Structures are given as structure tokens and as C-alpha cells.
């Protein structure tokens, strides 16, 4: 009879492999011209906007993209821009927590959802095309709030 034992070396190997799989591409080094163009586009998009609003937009986009790295970064930046913890917690459910956000912020969050949609996730609003029926994501309600 054999037993399956896990050694400290097995755990260390597994952790090293997991960390290697999460390694991010250094976009600035890999494609410097494209990176500079994106930074320029980002600067132009931010021009004239309240930094706290920009962070709300980026938080919502990070949530939709399931990017923990971006979400961590943008929530920290939002706190530095004066955003409250209550509002940060409500970004994910902003449609149900409308009283937390101004009409301008709700419009920006709705636009963010429309522009961030991808075929790999369910649509955030009824007016956005839905993914094919084979999608593993849940279906969103068919009526507007």
C-alpha cells in the first residue's frame, strides 16, 4: 500500500510554479512604442476629469475584466484621491446603489460597462449583445433597473 505524502519541497515547487504562471509581461519593455501611445491615450482621456471619477471608472473596468492586480491598484489610488470606503464597496453594484453616485458618475459607470464588454462575459446591460448560449456566465436580468 502506498501513501500520498506532500513534502515541504512539493509545496515550494507548487508555489514557485504558480508564481511563474502569474508573471506579467513587461509591456513597456516588450513594446515601448505601443506602451507610450497607450500612456498618451490614457493622459488624453483623463484630461479635465476629476481624478476620483477616473478611479471609479477604472475600478469598474477592473471588476468587469476580473483583474485583481488592477483592482488593487485603482482602489488604492481612489483612496488617495479621497474616495470613501462605502463608495468603493458599491462600485460593483452601482445600479442597485444609485444613491451613492451622482448622475455624472452613473453615466460614466454605464459608459464604462458598454465599452468594457467582451464576448467572454455576460452583458452588463440588456442593450448590450449577449454572449452565445454556451457561455458559462449567468444571464443578466432582461429589464433595466
Residues in the chain: 145
Q: How many CB atoms lie within 10 A of CB 76?
A: 12
Angle at 92 between CA 131 and CA 97, to 5 degrees: 115
Of residues 33 and 127, the one with the higher pLDDT is 33
CB 62 within 8 A of CB 70: yes
Query: Which is it for the CA torsion 99, 101, 107, 111, positive or negative?
Result: negative
Q: Mind listing the domains of the chain with CATH numbers?
A: 51-118 (1.20.1290.10)
Query: Please, what is the end-to-end C-alpha distance for the chain in angstroms?
Result: 61
CA separation for the pair 123, 141 (Å, rounded)? 10
Give me 57's grid cell: 471608472
pLDDT digits (tens, 9 = 90+) for 96-125: 999 999 999 999 999 999 988 666 655 555
CA separation for the pair 143, 95 (Å, rounded)? 12
**pTM assigned to the model:** 0.63
pLDDT digits (tens, 9 = 90+) for 21-67: 666 677 788 888 998 999 999 899 889 999 999 999 999 999 998 88
Amino acid at each position: 500500500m502506498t501513501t500520498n505524502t506532500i513534502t515541504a519541497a512539493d509545496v515550494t515547487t507548487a508555489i514557485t510554479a504558480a508564481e511563474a504562471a502569474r508573471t506579467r509581461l513587461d509591456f513597456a519593455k516588450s513594446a515601448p512604442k505601443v506602451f507610450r501611445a497607450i500612456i498618451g491615450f490614457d493622459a488624453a482621456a483623463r484630461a479635465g476629469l476629476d481624478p476620483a471619477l477616473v478611479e471609479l471608472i477604472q475600478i469598474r473596468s477592473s471588476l468587469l475584466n476580473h483583474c485583481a492586480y488592477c483592482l488593487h491598484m485603482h482602489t488604492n489610488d481612489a483612496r488617495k484621491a479621497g474616495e470613501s470606503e462605502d463608495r468603493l464597496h458599491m462600485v460593483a453594484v452601482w445600479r442597485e446603489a444609485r444613491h451613492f453616485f451622482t448622475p455624472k458618475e452613473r453615466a460614466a459607470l454605464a459608459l464604462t460597462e458598454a465599452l468594457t464588454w467582451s464576448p467572454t462575459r455576460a452583458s452588463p446591460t440588456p442593450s448590450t449583445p449577449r454572449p452565445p448560449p454556451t457561455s458559462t456566465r449567468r444571464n443578466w436580468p432582461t429589464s433595466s433597473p
